[in-house]
Amino acid sequence: MKFHIVILLLFVLGVSRASGADKLKKNFYKNSCRQAETLVRNITWSRAANDSKLGAKILRVHYHDCFVRGCDASILLDTVGTDAAEKSARPNLSLLGFEVIDEIKSEIEKVCPQVVSCADILALAARDAVSFPFKKDMWEVYTGRRDGRISLSSEVTGNIPGANSNFATLKNLFANKSLSVTDLVALSGAHTIGVAHCGAFSRRLYNFSGNGDTDPSLNQAYAETLKSQCPNPASSTITVEMDPQSSESFDTHYFTAVKQNKGLFQSDAALLTNTASSKIVDSLQKANTFFSQFGKSMKNMGEIEVLIGNAGEIRKNCRIVNA
Ligand code: HEM
Ligand SMILES: *[C@@H]1O[C@H](CO)[C@@H](O)[C@H](O)[C@H]1NC(C)=O
Ligand SMILES: *[C@@H]1O[C@H](CO)[C@@H](O)[C@H](O)[C@H]1NC(C)=O
Ligand SMILES: *[C@@H]1O[C@H](CO)[C@@H](O)[C@H](O)[C@H]1NC(C)=O
Ligand SMILES: *[C@@H]1O[C@H](CO)[C@@H](O)[C@H](O)[C@H]1NC(C)=O
Ligand SMILES: CC(=O)N[C@H]1CO[C@H](CO)[C@@H](O)[C@@H]1O
């Protein structure tokens, strides 16, 4: 009898854990701030209507947030005092779109003070900014994240892969966030939108193995085009489209480009250097497959080390921790 009660207890505990309160939910703010998700979408769409590059900017900020200390809006914190915050780290180079997050946060604070986290606003706004041209949600975002109180630029390297990463490095850094090779390839598809500074890939053009050569795995004609856009030494202000002629359109063209050895970074080209990964590049050329896998992988990325329940806090201002 006692034995059975213990088994039953373990069973009940086990089930409530698996389906329980320690997870993100669909429409978490349904009762606490009914208009939250609509408000995020309205403001994001009105800004996206005036800035065709907004989707790329906010999507990248969300990625950088999730890969360092989980999706806890640590990337949004400004540096205070001497400990440099994540957003001041080198690989940021060009993180943008923070002012749109600030605007959304201040509008939401007017109707639901200290209810909606900056981490959720960032995840929703990334989806909404990319979705604007389609006038529908391109993937589902679960909510219930809370905001962290720590942001350290020293934690960026070692968590965010560099543009010159090889396949093993990419696979390991993603695995460390519980993301699979499928997630790695699908999420790299984010490079179908946005731009990069010449410095991120100029070594591939001018000094690949340290003797003035060009990366032989890069399409030769494309390398010449890139050299004309990015003279040596690399300018710190010039940017190029990562997916030429299609860098404002969220589509499968990135995978076509990678397949033609026109992936801009070594990390893009690296997706062809592993058999499994290369097959995934092939399969994601199909639009339906890409959109559905990207959505699943964004959900996985959006769950990395999230703060739930009573952990963390709901910031009043996304740039500073609460007093
Ligand atoms: C797989 C490893 C990855 C590497 C090595 C990488 C590297 C980079 C680099 C070097 C840039 C250019 C930054 C600049 O020069 O300004 C960039 C831009 C970008 N990345 Fe990634 N990235 C990776 C994964 C991701 C993921 C997972 C996402 C999102 C899901 C993402 C989204 C973006 C976007 C949207 C841009 C363009 C930003 C803009 O135009 O403002 N990247 N990435
Ligand atoms: C969002 O925009 C729609 C259409 O402009 C409007 O009807 C709705 O009231 C807005 N909702 C919120 C919460 O701002
Ligand atoms: C639209 O964007 C331009 C240029 O980025 C900016 O000067 C202008 O203020 C923006 N307009 C609105 C309504 O946001
Ligand atoms: C990721 O790396 C950190 C530190 O390098 C380690 O503590 C952690 O267990 C790793 N997580 C996974 C899922 O591999
Ligand atoms: C090319 O790389 C090598 C090895 O890293 C370095 O010694 C050399 O100065 C570089 N040359 C140029 C022109 O940057
Ligand atoms: C947006 C942002 O914070 N950019 C920073 C990225 O890193 C460089 C170099 O560390 C800083 O100068 C930028 O301000």
Mean pLDDT in order along the chain per 10 residues (323 residues)? 45 40 90 98 98 97 98 95 87 80 98 98 98 98 98 95 98 98 98 97 97 97 98 95 93 98 98 98 98 98 98 98 96
In the chain, where does the domain assigned CATH 1.10.520.10 lie? 16-160+301-307
Tokens standing for 37?
Answer: 């998700």
Q: Which regions of the chain carry the CATH code 1.10.420.10?
A: 167-298
Residue from 112, 118, 126 nearest 76 by CA: 118
* Full DSSP string of 224-276: HHHHHHSPSSPPSS-EEESSTT-TTS-STHHHHHHHTT--SSHHHHGGGSSHH
- Return the ligand number nearest the Cα of 232: 5
Pocket-testing residue among 176, 178, 300, 301, ligand 4, by greatest number of atoms within 8 A of Cβ = 176
Q: Please tell me the distance from the alpha carbon of residue 282 to that of residue 13, in angstroms, as a whole number.
A: 43
Rounded to the nearest whole angstrom, what is the distance from the C-alpha of residue 207 to the centroid of ligand 5? 6
pLDDT tens, position by position, 137-157: 999 999 999 999 999 999 999
What confidence score (pLDDT) does residue 91 get? 65
Binding-site residue ranges: 65, 68, 70, 72, 74, 86, 161, 191-192, 243, 251
Choose one of 35, 37, 42 to mutate for the ligand 2 pocket test, by most ligand atoms within 8 angstroms of C-beta.
Answer: 42
Please tell me the number of Cα atoms within 13 Å of 226 on its side-chain side: 31
Contact predicate 230/199, CB 8 Å = no
CA distance 246 to 234: 23
Q: How far apart (Å, rounded) are the C-alpha atoms in residues 126 and 105?
A: 14
Report, at the CATH architecture level, how domain 16-160+301-307 is classified.
Orthogonal Bundle (1.10)
Q: Whose CA is nearest to atom 17 of ligand 1?
A: 196
The 10s digit of each residue's pLDDT in 166-221 is: 999 999 999 999 999 999 999 999 999 999 999 999 999 999 999 999 999 999 99
Report the pLDDT value the prediction gives residue 245, as an integer from 0 to 100: 87
Domain 167-298 bears CATH identifier 2.60.120.200: no
Determine the pLDDT at residue 1. 43
- Residue 304, number of CB atoms within 10 A of its CB: 19
Sign of the dihedral defined by the CA atoms of residues 46, 47, 53, 59, in that order:
negative
Residue 4 appears among annotated catalytic residues = no
* DSSP-assigned letters across all residues of 8-48: HHHHHHHHHHHSSSSS-BTTTTTTT-TTHHHHHHHHHHHHH
> For ligand 5, atom 2, which residue shows the shortest CA distance?
210
Residue type, 224: E
